[in-house]
Amino acid sequence: MSVSTVELKVPSVGESVSDVEIAEWLKNEGDTVRQDENVLVLETDKATLEVPSPVSGRLLKALKKKGDRVQVGELLGEIEAGDFAAPAGQPAEDKKAAAKSAKKKSDAPGAPVLKKAAPPGAEPAAPVVDELAVAEAPAPALEPGPPEPSAPAAAPAESGRAEEIVPMSLLRRKIAERLVAAQHTAALLTTFNEIDMAAVLALRKENQERFHERYQIKLGFMSFFIKATVEALKGVPQLNAEIRGSTIVYRNYHDVAIAIGGGRGLVVPVLRDAGRMSFAELEQGIADFAQRVKDNKIKPDELQGGTFTITNGGIYGSLLSTPLVNPPQSGVLGMHAIQERPVAVAGQVVIRPMMYVALTYDHRLVDGREAVQFLKRVKELIESPARMLLEI
């Protein structure tokens, strides 16, 4: 069998990213890999990405360990290319599982064991040796002696005061840096309003089945809020702008970022030209982002360039919060849980499904009047969703 060694290096992960961290090795040294099968996971300050094997073979060396910081182009490991197929009838990835299964069977009650009989003439009290158990069991621990006077006794685990120290990931550090920077560099202020969600709930209920049959996806709330947000941003362009030095950059497009919680932290992928997308396209884009965030497959460039952000704390049960602006953006809209509350309508107290919404904005660029106008416009459109379809 002819084999060769192929180097596994840190790939390019974007123009502004040079420093990454080893998040996890998916393969151990000696494991077989197929071409394009993922070998390890890298984490940048924006996202995580998986590194596939360029060839089929086996992982010969892993030169870096979990938590190591590496540079783009740096050598991560070596793969021995070639055909290292498992024996017929047993895939390579099943070898370890089969070995573990065999061990469990040997340890099960009633399983046959190999025993060495005592030699002739030995004392009757001599123990019978279980060779299989001796081969697999760890060496017996020595009897503990009295504790050293100078050594402090460790706190028992039952005390409930154990601590675990783990390094902060690049993504978590970046989130922390950006949130602190937002508070230090921008003049942040939050204003609130509440929205009667009855009309949207009724519209969703009436059209959900047909929408799902046609587009194979459910009609959610986020697409309504994106549509309403884009329309509101047209009336308050300061919230779709950013400050660059001593200038203001106004954008005539709307790249709406959607905050999505993942296992490694909050990420904010961007729906490009969201104002031009249909309800179905918005829902499909959101679902695709959510799945790829869960699978750690979001690309770094999908997290860059948003002009405005929407975050939905309501999916976690939040009733009210003050979201933080994602610099260099000038605003973020916070959605919250829908809660039935008594409200006054036409002089009568009625129960309505209400949602609090919050707009945090950079007061250097946006005045309070514009912020209130923005939320009022979002409220009008959500409470009368047909207006979004008619663009009135």
Boundary (domain end) residue, out of 35, 55, 81? 81
Q: Do 218 and 358 lie in a common domain?
A: yes
Average the pLDDT over 132-152 and give the result. Answer: 43
* Domain end point (choices 58, 81, 104): 81
Residue 115 lies in a domain: no
pLDDT digits (tens, 9 = 90+) for 53-97: 999 999 999 999 888 888 888 899 999 988 876 544 444 444 444
The reply to whether 72 and 179 lie within a common domain is: no
Could you list the active site residues?
363, 367
Residue 256 belongs to some domain of the structure: yes
Say if 127 falls within a structural domain.
no
> Is 338 a domain residue?
yes
Q: What is the pLDDT of residue 339?
A: 96
Same domain, 206 and 66: no
Give the pLDDT band of residue 18 (cuts 50, 70, 90): low
Q: Which of 81, 109, 137 is the last residue of a domain?
A: 81
Structurally, the chain folds into a number of domains equal to 2
- pLDDT tens column, 92-101: 444 444 444 4
Answer whether residue 320 is part of any domain. Answer: yes
383-388: average pLDDT: 88
Owning domain of residue 257: 170-390
* Judgement on whether residues 182 and 306 belong to the same structural domain of the protein: yes
- CATH code assigned at 280: 3.30.559.10
Query: 3-state SS string over the chain?
Result: CCCEEEEEECCCCCCCCCEEEEEEECCCCCCEECCCCEEEEEECCCCEEEEECCCCEEEEEECCCCCCEEECCCEEEEEEECCCCCCCCCCHHHHHHHHHHHHHHHHCCCCCCCEECCCCCCCCCCCCEEHHHHHHCCCCCCCCCCCCCCCCCCCCHHHCCCCCCCCCCHHHHHHHHHHHHHHHHCCEEEEEEEEECHHHHHHHHHHHHHHHHHHCCCCCCHHHHHHHHHHHHHHCHHHHCEEECCEEECCCCCCEEECEEECCEEECCEECCHHHCCHHHHHHHHHHHHHHHHCCCCCHHHHCCCCEEEEEHHHHCCCCCCCCCCCCCCEEEEECCEEEEEEEECCEEEEEEEEEEEEEEECCCCCHHHHHHHHHHHHHHHHCCHHHHHCC
Q: What CATH number is given to the structural domain containing 73?
A: 2.40.50.100
> Would residue 141 count as lying in a domain?
no
What pLDDT was estimated at residue 14?
66
Top-confidence residue, 107 or 127: 107
The band of 264, judged by pLDDT with boundaries at 50, 70 and 90, is: low
Question: Does residue 241 belong to any structural domain of this protein?
Answer: yes
